[in-house]
Structure 1
Amino acid sequence: MSEPCKRPLRWAFPLVLPLALLPALALADGVAVRYDATASPFPSNRYTVPDFGNATLRRVSLPKPDCATRPSDCADIDVINTLDGFSTQPRITVPFTGDIDPASVNSDSIYLVNLGDVLTLRGFGDKVGINQVVWDPASKTLAFTSDELLQERSRYLLVVTNGVRDAQGKKLKSADFLGGGAGHTRELRDALPMARGSGRNVVAASLFTTQTATGDLLKVQRRIKSSTPAPVNFMIGNGGAVRAVFPVSGLQGIQFNRQTGSAPAFTPGLLPTPALQVVPGAVGHVAYGRYESPEYQNAAKVIPATDTLTGTPRPLGSQSLVFQLFLPSSPKPAGGWPVALFGHGFTDSMYGAPWTVASVFASQGIATLSINVVGHGGGALGTLNVLPTAGAPVVVPAGGRGIDQDGNGSIDSTEGVNAAAPQTIVSSRDGLRQTVIDLMQLVRQVEAGIDVDGDGTRDLDPNRIYYAGQSFGGIYGTMLLGVERNIKAGVPNVPGGSITEIARLSPSFRILTGLSLATRQPVLLNLPPTAQLPVPLNFNENIPLRDQPPLVNNVPGAMAIAELLDRNQWVQQSGNPVSYAALIRQNPPQGHAAKPVILQFAKGDVTVPNPTTSAIVRAGGLQDRVTQFRNDLAFAANPGVPKNPHTFLTNIAIPAAAPYAVAAQSQIAAFFASNGALVIDPDGPGPLFEVPIQGPLPEGLNFIP
């Protein structure tokens, strides 16, 4: 959409400007913005109530529909009404009394003004444009998103000017947005002097307050830092009789007996021990230990809401977690080995991706440390059967965190990461946040000292802790980098946000969005099955990508789907990496230093589409830290390279792709070995890695046909 997206309002009048000096109401005939009992601009603080326990000083209070006919909406609103404000990436809707000209809608005719953080006034006066504009003629409703992520716990004024024209080209006439029917208070009246600009009259306005998104994890981080944890326990082999530390040179293999059924039932398989020889002999030992982490999720896999100003999330218990550690074969430095926490992806476990990077990391003297994500790694009864080349096997608990959440007898690869009904709108928000908490606790264990071999000295350097993670690991890793102060540098690989947007745009996950629409009451699917989606899970939400011209919606049911997707994203913002990106470098929390980072991604990622990665980069001001892998060029040069580059970091088993995987891993290893000072180009002067990315951020999908 048109410039500018964000700039100080140098033309703003002081807040004390008398209302009488505001521009006269537009005199021209024409269409107006609707303000009545059934329709008005949204979001709006008219749908909140005072709550002085919250950092926003309010709480959302949406009215419910008929819960007998729309039970899914009512269940969602029960969760929404625990929030302290509106989405920081809102889908804004403005209803009109008649038809308008969508071509007249841009960031000059409609915009947002930041009235500042509720507690500090930070951001006061910034102007924010709009994007992804949709005009729905059937309901005479205009929908759009803010052009950027809005600042959390802040007030925003939505301004509609007479630069928007009706279908005949006439200026809009002013709506009675300050009348009793509008439901607005003195707060909106006092904010209106901030609305002037562009030489156009204000014909409608609304005021809303954004939610607190990052506060809970920052409070938990401070709680963890104030505690002294018990030492980690490596005596977990054969029921506590054997120290679970094994030399790689003495390994015949490791069998993973994954619990896949609640009966219980198990599925055996071998761990990829050959992956440790990408750099031959670099990994000296693999070890398994156990530590205690605070459990903040309840049985429904939800972290209960607490007041965002006066409250603090409280642990509901603790959980015993198993971690996996790869130690380099090189001599241990005096302070211990530098260590990289590595986060695995969705459906994966610590027995997948971490194995593929450990060898290259170890070749630079860096240990690799991993845990299973909430809901991943199979059930808790799974085991590892470690088979040495000499001596008896050793059985080690595998640390699975999956559960039979739906009661069907099986434990799927991600079962337990999402919230249970009726709070399904929470989705993976709290599974992601709990995983971040578990990793913060693991960082605290490294700080306290981890003695792997039992000789009484620390083996990991508490002053050189790093983080890298792939896909889902890049998502919760971005969150972790924003809130954990003692991680020195990080590399999220192919992250994206929000989860709602990933599931909407990705062919790999779109069927999951369809399933959620199919299971609602009433059902929201609006298209018949196709050859690509033969099961009845087809839908069209008709939402344009960023920076496209206004779209005129002609798809029945699309607006209702778009509203649901917006509500999902709203509820899940505290589990969205986009919310935490600015904390990494641009605006670190108090007491935190800005972190050096590299964000690696690939053009044309099918699993985590490029626009969702660009959202993180834009929110964090990280464009100069982006490394882009040009998979389009790699595939054109060699069709043996996968069309979907999502796993380019870990594709060591695919001959055509393995060199690029090792190159990307080497960039991470060199970055950590230099304590975040050195960023190498993985292919030097070659064209396949752009360091940093050349040209604008990709807002298209860029899939290879």
Structure 2
Amino acid sequence: MFVLPTGAEGEGFFDLPWPSDVRRTAEGTIDMTGFPTRRNPFVQRYLDAMTERLDGFGTNGAVYFRFSRTIDAGALPERPEQSLEDGAAVFLVDVDPDSPDVGTRHPIALHFQDCPTRFWSAHTLAIRPVYGLPLASDRTYAAVVTTGLNSADGEPFARSADLEAVLAGESDAAVDAIYGPALDALEAAGVTRDAILSLAVFTTQDATGETIAIRDWMHAEYPAPSVVTVETDRVAPRYERVAGTYGPVPIFQAGELPYANAEDGGDITLDATGAPTVHGEYDARFSLTIPTSPMPAGGYPIVLYAHGTGGDFETVVRNDTAEKLAALGIASMGVDQIHHGARNPTATDPSILFFNIPNPLAARDNNRQSALDIVQQARLVPGLTFDTGLVERDGMPVRFDPAQTWFMGHSQGGLNGPIFLAIDDGARAAVLSAASSVITPSLIEKVEPLVIPDIVVALLNLPGGDYMQAFALEGFTVEHPVATLLQTWLEASDASNYAHLVFSSPREGFAPKSVLMTEGLRDAFSPPTSIEALAGAMRTPVVQPVGSPLVSLRLAGVDPVAPPVTGNVAGGAATAGLLQFPDDGHFAIFDNETAEAQYLGFFGSLLEGGPGTIPSP
């Protein structure tokens, strides 16, 4: 089907392949009018947010084609690489005239939903980018179904009259302006108009630009923080601990903290000049452990630690990470992540407040605020020192080395950490434990600390005895229309869209960063699918032995590497690798002695001043 929207009664939203640049408002945002809400207020909130705020479509979501009857599934590409072949019956291609990759096909995964459900239309083919290979931001793509796809009974499909007019350049002028350049790009790539059975042309949103601009504004316009209060807290054999607060830290989210309800807000806003609006400020609690070993001439190396859901500013001490780093001569600093510790004025579980799917504004911008919080934390390091009456080394004030400032994030800290690493240069290397991206797998697979599938069933009011039955009845897969709806809205806070900036193609003036990622293949908190999506998007190779091969890395031509690993990316300027632990779950880096030894060995190697080494087990 290819039916241009007219507003006629009985017209279906997916009668025109979606996403489509035809569905845009006069203001340039995407128009979600007609999406099947089933009078569901949760779905409607996302539709309203998208129509009000998004300048383009998703980079990880699905594209939908409706057919009049069952298709011949045997004609579809069985593997993503087959969608890159000239004879593929379905494919996705860059058609942006300003793109360096115009004419290049993008590998896809497919799902066919034959039976209608509450949100699926009958006979719908969904295609999506392979996780770990997101589409580029602010780029125009064409999804194409060719006449090589027939119905299940072998009969060819008839091309829709509206598409015939588009292919002939005889449609409405505004419609021709959308499809004409794409058709020209397709022809230049060897795809003739008479080979096209159905077509979607859409432009992705600028998923990263706003967050990058806010980071740059902070460095140019907002004061760097300083210590507000501090006291000596504890002296241990390997470290001296001080605790206190620093500020100011800007709050870019509008509304009433902790944005528990949809009406409480939680969105990051810009003023008329495009600058971010600071809706408040706070002083951040910190816990800082300073090694008792002699201070290097340039100051102590320091790790900025971002805890997981349920933690607080002292987690880095309680889980012994601080002690183990101090044994290497490395300081560590923990803070309260958003909606945790002193930043949660309620008794509500912080996992509910942070992920907060019922509130679209907070669900998206909690993570962006968290990344910007780390930007401000990193700005503290160059000037961080204390009165010698509080803490000193050989009578000299304690200092910390900006050139040896590193990051470590676990779980929730691995959601915002990659964004920080991409947009800022305040840390030179990182360890990412159970770090992930792309929300759609979590809607189905994440069962700790919250059973997200149960929440999805409740929000969508799906029938069934449990979430597995409900998902089976609804056909709720990662390609489900509501899953794509959520993913499209959340792209600006999805680390997969920022990952390439970490070491593959850093921002201008930034050095590539070394990264060690860890994955427990039995993780129920951060689904391995999502961990691997981040690794793929970052082009982080798997360190042998390989427990779970990554399709995205295979397609990107990134082979597994044998340890020890050093200088293997960015032309030798950085080190990167994903360690996989088949018998471990979410806390592999803490529970598995080999994982612990390897991440500590990585940090220890950074002390030598090079790109670091991921050691052998």
What is the match of residue 467 of structure 1? 407
- Indicate conservation of the 8 Å contact 2:268/2:365, yes or no: no
Cα distance between partner residues in 2 of 1:68 and 1:599: 41
- 2:291 equivalent to 1:349: no
Q: C-alpha displacement at 1:481, in angstroms?
A: 0.8
1:221 counterpart letter in structure 2: R
Find 1:646's aligned residue among 580, 586, 590.
586
Q: Aligned AA for 1:248?
A: V
Residue 228 of structure 1 deviates from its aligned partner by 6.5
SS state of the match for residue 288, structure 2? Answer: strand
- Residue 25 (structure 2) aligns with: 49
Confirm whether residue 287 of structure 1 aligns to residue 281 of structure 2.
no
Q: Post-superposition shift, 1:171?
A: 3.8
Tell me what 2:369 maps to: 434
Does structure 2 retain, via aligned residues, the 8 Å contact 1:162–1:173? no
2:48 match: 78
Of the three residues 604, 627, 648, the one matched with 2:578 is 627
TM-score normalised by length of structure 1: 0.70
Distance 1:568 1:201, change over 3 A: same
Give the 3 Å change call, closer, same or farther, for CA 506–337 of structure 1 in structure 2. same
Shift of 1:315: 1.5
Matched, 1:151 2:131: no
Partner of 2:29: 59
8 Å CA contact 1:419–1:426 kept in 2: the answer is no
2:41 is aligned with 1:101? no
- Report what 1:252 is aligned to: none
Distance 1:156 1:579, change over 3 A: same
CA shift for structure 1 position 234: 5.5
Q: Which amino acid aligns with 1:460?
A: F
Give the counterpart letter for 1:506 in structure 2: K
Contact 1:99 1:137 (8 Å CA) reproduced = no
Residues 627/190 of structure 1: CA separation in 2 closer, same or farther (3 Å cut): closer
Note the residue ranges of structure 1 that are not aligned, 5 or more in a row. 1-31, 52-57, 236-242, 250-280, 378-399, 405-409, 530-536, 543-554, 633-643, 652-656, 684-705
**Superposition deviation, residue 166 in structure 1:** 1.2
Stretch deviating more after TM superposition (169-178 or 97-106): 169-178
CA 671–499 in structure 1, closer or farther in 2 if over 3 Å, else same: farther
Residue number among 371, 379, 404 corresponding to 2:335 in the alignment: 371
Over 3 Å counting, the alpha-carbon distance change for 1:556 and 1:666 in structure 2 is closer
Answer yes or no: is the 8 Å Cα contact 2:138–2:204 preserved in 1.
Answer: yes
Q: Percent identity?
A: 22
Quick check: 1:608 aligned with 2:526? Answer: yes
Two-structure CA RMSD over aligned residues (Å): 3.0
Given the superposition, is the C-alpha separation of residues 613 and 65 from structure 1 closer, same or farther in structure 2, using an over 3 Å criterion? closer
Cα displacement (A) at 1:631: 3.6
How far residue 247 of structure 1 moved from its aligned partner, in angstroms, is 4.0
Q: Is the 8 A contact 1:291 1:322 kept in 2?
A: no
Corresponding letter in the other structure for 2:577? V
Q: Given the superposition, is the C-alpha separation of residues 155 and 320 from structure 1 closer, same or farther in structure 2, using an over 3 Å criterion?
A: same
Pair 1:331 & 2:294 matched: yes
User: Displacement of 1:401 after TM fit?
Assistant: 1.1
Corresponding residue of 1:129:
107
Change (3 A) 1:181 1:91: farther
- 1:672 corresponds to: 606
Is the 8 Å Cα contact of residues 113 and 126 (structure 1) preserved in structure 2? Answer: yes
* Residues 1:488 and 2:428 aligned together: yes
Give CA deviations for 1:31-78 in whole Å, capped at 9, x if unaligned: x65656421100001111354xxxxxx311211569893333322211
Task: Name the CA distance, whole Å, in 1 between partners of 2:276 and 2:366.
Answer: 15
Aligned-partner Cα distance in 2 for 1:584–1:472: 18
C-alpha contact 1:99 1:166 (8 A) present in aligned 2: yes
CA distance in 1, matches of 2:597, 2:211: 34
- How many residue pairs are counted as aligned between the two chains? 537
Describe the shift of the 1:286–1:193 C-alpha distance in structure 2 as closer, same or farther (beyond 3 A).
same
- 3-state SS in 1 of match to 2:25: strand
Aligned equivalents of 1:498, 1:123: Cα separation in 2: 23
User: How has the CA–CA distance of structure 1 residues 516 and 291 changed in structure 2, closer, same or farther, with 3 Å as cutoff?
Assistant: same
- Where structure 2 has 5 or more consecutive residues not aligned to the other structure, the ranges are 6-10, 78-82, 117-121, 257-263, 543-575
- The amino acid of 2:538's aligned partner reads G
Closer, same or farther: CA 494–452 of 1 in aligned 2, 3 Å: farther
Higher share of residues assigned helix? 2
How much has 1:211 moved relative to structure 2?
Answer: 0.8
Cα pair 2:147 2:156 within 8 Å, conserved: yes
The aligned amino acid for 1:372 is: D
CA deviations 1:340-386 (Å, max 9, x no partner) are 11111122223224542112211221111111111112xxxxxxxxx
Q: Structure 1 runs of 4+ off > 4 angstroms?
A: 32-36, 64-68, 179-183, 305-308, 418-421, 452-458, 537-540
Q: Output aligned runs, 1:187-226, within 5 Å.
A: 187-196=178-187, 197=190, 201-226=195-220
Deviation (angstroms), 1:467? 0.6
Indicate how the Cα distance of structure 1 residues 425 and 667 shifts in structure 2: closer, same or farther if over 3 A, else same: same
Does the CA contact (< 8 Å) of 1:344 and 1:352 recur in 2?
yes
Q: 1: CA distance between counterparts of 2:586 and 2:115?
A: 39
- Per-residue CA shift, 1:485-511, capped at 9, x if unaligned? 231111211111124422421232572
User: 2:237 aligned with 1:319, yes or no?
Assistant: no
Cα gap change, 1:527/1:415 in structure 2, threshold over 3 Å: closer, same or farther?
A: closer
Q: 2:233 & 2:440 partners in 1: Cα distance?
A: 41
Tell me how far apart the structure 1 counterparts of residues 608 and 149 of structure 2 sit (CA, whole Å): 54
